[in-house]
Amino acid sequence: MTASCKVSICVPTCNRPELIVECLDSCLAQTHTNLEILIGDDSSDRRTQQLIESRYAHHARIRYVRNEPPLGQARNVARLFARASGDKIALMHDDDYFTDDGIANLLKPWQDHPQLEVVFADQYEVDAQGHVDAANSDELNAAFHRTSLAQGLQKQPGRTGLVQMFPNNGWIANADLVKRVGYRDDVGTCCDYVFGAELCLAASQVYYLHRYVSYYRKSDVSISRSTRGSTCAASLTAFQFVSRLTLDASLEPARRQAMRRLAPIVVSLHAKNASPLAALRVALRHPYAYAYGFDARFYYHLSLIARALIAMTWRRLPPSAARFP
């Protein structure tokens, strides 16, 4: 059954022709060959288009579209999902890439679980040059609850998305589910996390495969890194998204687990961006995120809040009061 399954690999790209070649070559090298590779190009110039035309002109499985005007990350991905004609959809960002048997391995669980809707697996972490860091790869996956003990059908599919177990790539899902969930353009750089959470919350069966199927490139040039530390940071949007979700009571522990990770980050972001009162409110509403005061991070964040409050008060003083005698 899986051999006849058509897979649509969606590749959004923007101004990275030097990296997309490795991504596309990995797609073409898949041992599962019944696939199409859809490219949505948001680049500001024609370098990527020229590369595709010169290098991949004779590859019928590659279907390239240049977005004019550019759509932005989320709308680009959403357009790719809409274009997909496969039974299943996979997403691969232009700076990341698959192992040769990545798609084949992601399809295997459907043989034993034909009602599956979503499968995801492990990611290698590689540096900007593509060198694998084995130790960091193990730590990366373990940090997001991807371990041998977790392999198999997930008892609570929704929990998988909430606690960030679901990766940004290295997954495959039924096309009808992916298209129904969609890719939101109102959550900024948090769109990958929000999509993963909503996909898992909507799915009835989600499977985790403890096997490396993709490579995640860690570099200094990315949207998430460019906004890190600002009020546009993905962590802040993720915190707001999780806070507002309407969940079944059985998923409240998963929400709490997600908040344990997110709340301290948000406290720090608010304190460092001149919003000390907002930082204090988050810290006091989520004391469990700081082990109820037994975490040194709590006192460090209190010091950040205090400094921000002093700075805010100082700025509000009239010039005459702010001068030293």
SS3 for 243-290 is HHCCCCHHHHHHHHHHHHHHHHHHHHHHHHCCCHHHHHHHHHHCHHHH
Res. 324: pLDDT tops 50: no
pLDDT digits (tens, 9 = 90+) for 251-297: 999 999 999 999 999 999 999 999 999 999 999 999 999 999 999 99
Res. 228: pLDDT tops 80: no
pLDDT at 220: 64
pLDDT digits (tens, 9 = 90+) for 20-54: 999 999 999 999 999 999 999 999 999 999 999 99
Distance CA 58, CA 46 (A): 19
Residue 191 DSSP code? H
pLDDT at 231: 53
Judge whether 168 and 73 are in contact, CB under 8 Å.
no
CA-to-CA separations, 146 to 134, 136, 178, in angstroms, rounded: 15, 13, 22
The domains of the chain, with CATH numbers, are: 2-221 (3.90.550.10), 228-318 (no CATH)
Please state whether the predicted TM-score (pTM) of the whole model is above 0.85.
Answer: yes
Count Cα atoms within 13 angstroms, Cβ side, for 314: 9
Distance CA 282, CA 296 (A): 17
| Widest distance between CA atoms in the chain | 83
As a whole number, the mean pLDDT across the chain is 93
Give the residue among 85, 75, 76 at the shortest CA–CA distance from 39: 76
